């Protein structure tokens, strides 16, 4: 038998590869058509999909942050496909303020954009159910409050507020605690808190980018708590993020080397009130909070936005930056201060 030439062998190998590729593409096409047909059928039937929430609601640590945002993505994809979603919290075991506040903001948006399409079943764990009742999650999702009063020690101290405007009455209870904060200039606490909310209202949604909520939901969300000798405040907005805001301003040219390094941009925004950088982000809120925190004996300040975070710890007197793979829409501020007074629900 005549041996095939090198040219023939190369040609035959190519034809074989092309045949395999054509068969693969045909299989992929059939699968894609079936998938689209299944989705269309489920939408026509008004199918409901159960989506399980993660065990831990947290955005400060990389692993639970990734799980929480995958949960958000699942919910949003189903809603966008026209499905009804039932949130299942049977696995949820721990709700940290950082992740819970971000979830509460997302829930407001889902319920507004897809009315009657989001529901849930009662959580299995008592502390989760009590917190969801306390901050209005159950009511928002159409479930009755089953607890006549909130008694769990991890829940009853929390206060939840949200708003679109500068309504001092909403956070006056938190600001009124200033006289019991352990700080040489404790009277400045109310000004810092006021400035933080003011700047969220006026600057967090200062220009349009993809992914912003509809105008009526461009607001702020807040947790506050006094417990175990500490006052804790968390403020979140779903806005344009600190890095995106800074990179639009002419002053950012002085910080070209910081491009794509969100933690450094957040640090620059927080430090802009005391350095010669002349960077301005959301008025005086973040620099004032950082300066106030530097005179604390304990506690500190964390600012998270997009893929970066900046943290100052008062006890050690130093700061650090974090980098995340999963971006956080908007900005989350976590503030912890030593407290001289008794624990309170105020």
Return the pLDDT at 275: 38
Quick one: average pLDDT of 27-50?
63
| More confident site: 32 or 184 | 184
Return the pLDDT at 252: 64
Return the pLDDT at 196: 79
pLDDT band for position 169 (50/70/90)?
Answer: low
Residues contacting 212, CB < 8 A, separation 6+? 205, 218, 238, 239, 240
| More confident site: 71 or 35 | 71
Helix ranges restricted to H, 164-241: 168-175, 188-203
How many other C-beta atoms can be found within 10 angstroms of the C-beta atom of residue 207?
A: 11
Quick one: average pLDDT of 262-271?
90
Quick one: average pLDDT of 126-134?
97
What whole-number percentage of the chain has pLDDT above 70?
79
Quick one: average pLDDT of 246-254?
71
Q: Determine the Cα–Cα distance for residues 27 and 23; give it in Å rounded to an integer.
A: 6
pLDDT band for position 25 (50/70/90)?
Answer: confident
How many other C-beta atoms can be found within 10 angstroms of the C-beta atom of residue 276?
A: 7
pLDDT band for position 94 (50/70/90)?
Answer: very high
DSSP one-letter code for 216: G
| More confident site: 184 or 147 | 147
Over the stretch 307-338, which tens digit does the pLDDT of each residue have?
999 999 999 999 999 999 999 999 999 999 99
Three-state secondary-structure class, residue 171: helix
What whole-number percentage of the chain has pLDDT above 90?
58
With a cut of 50, say whether residue 113 has pLDDT above it.
yes
CA-to-CA dists, residue 262 to 170, 172, 205, 252, angstroms:
31, 32, 18, 13
Residue-level length of the chain: 346
Q: 115, exposed or middle or buried, with CB in 10 Å at 0-12, 13-18, 19+?
A: exposed
* Strands, E assignment, 97-185: 118-120, 159-163
Over the stretch 152-168, which tens digit does the pLDDT of each residue have?
999 999 999 998 876 65
Return mean pLDDT, the chain. Answer: 84
Q: Of 218-222, 250-254, 293-297, where does mean pLDDT reach its minimum?
A: 250-254
Return the pLDDT at 5: 74
Q: 95, exposed or middle or buried, with CB in 10 Å at 0-12, 13-18, 19+?
A: buried
Return the pLDDT at 20: 62
The structure tokens listed for 311 are 């943290």
Quick one: average pLDDT of 5-12?
71
Strand 84-88 relative to strand 48-52: parallel, antiparallel, unpaired? parallel
Quick one: average pLDDT of 43-57?
82
Task: Provide the greatest CA pair distance for the chain.
Answer: 100
Quick one: average pLDDT of 113-120?
96
Return the pLDDT at 281: 43
Return the pLDDT at 35: 61
Three-state secondary-structure class, residue 198: helix
**Closest by Cα among 67, 11, 341 to 180:** 341
């Amino acid at each position: 038998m005549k041996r095939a030439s090198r040219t023939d062998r190369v040609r035959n190998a190519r034809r074989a590869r092309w045949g395999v590729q054509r068969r693969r593409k045909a299989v992929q096409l059939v699968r894609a058509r079936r998938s689209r047909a299944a989705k269309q059928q489920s939408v026509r039937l008004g199918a409901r999909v159960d989506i399980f929430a993660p065990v831990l609601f947290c955005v400060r640590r990389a692993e639970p942050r990734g799980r929480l945002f995958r949960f958000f993505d699942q919910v949003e994809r189903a809603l966008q496909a026209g499905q009804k979603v039932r949130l299942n919290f049977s696995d949820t075991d721990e709700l940290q303020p950082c992740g819970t506040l971000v979830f509460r903001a997302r829930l407001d948006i889902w319920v507004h954009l897809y009315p009657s399409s989001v529901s849930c079943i009662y959580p299995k764990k008592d502390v989760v159910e009590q917190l969801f009742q306390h901050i209005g999650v159950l009511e928002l999702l159409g479930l009755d409050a089953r607890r006549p009063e909130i008694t769990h020690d991890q829940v009853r101290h929390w206060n939840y507020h949200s708003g679109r405007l500068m309504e001092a009455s909403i956070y006056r209870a938190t600001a009124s605690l200033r006289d019991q904060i352990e700080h040489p200039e404790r009277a400045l606490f109310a000004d810092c808190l006021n400035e933080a909310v003011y700047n969220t209202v006026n600057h967090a949604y200062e220009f349009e980018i993809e992914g912003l909520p509809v105008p009526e939901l461009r607001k702020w969300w807040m947790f506050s708590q006094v417990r175990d000798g500490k006052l804790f405040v968390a403020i979140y907005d779903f806005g344009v993020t600190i890095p995106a805001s800074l990179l639009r301003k002419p002053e950012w040219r002085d910080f070209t080397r910081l491009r794509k390094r969100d933690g450094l941009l957040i640090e620059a925004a927080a430090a802009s009130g005391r350095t010669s950088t002349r960077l301005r982000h959301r008025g005086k809120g973040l620099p004032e909070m950082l300066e106030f925190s530097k005179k604390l004996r304990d506690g500190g300040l964390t600012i998270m936005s997009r893929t970066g975070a900046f943290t100052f710890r008062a006890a050690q007197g130093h700061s650090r930056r974090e980098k995340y793979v999963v971006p956080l829409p908007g900005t989350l501020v976590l503030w912890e201060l030593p407290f001289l007074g008794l624990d309170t629900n105020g």
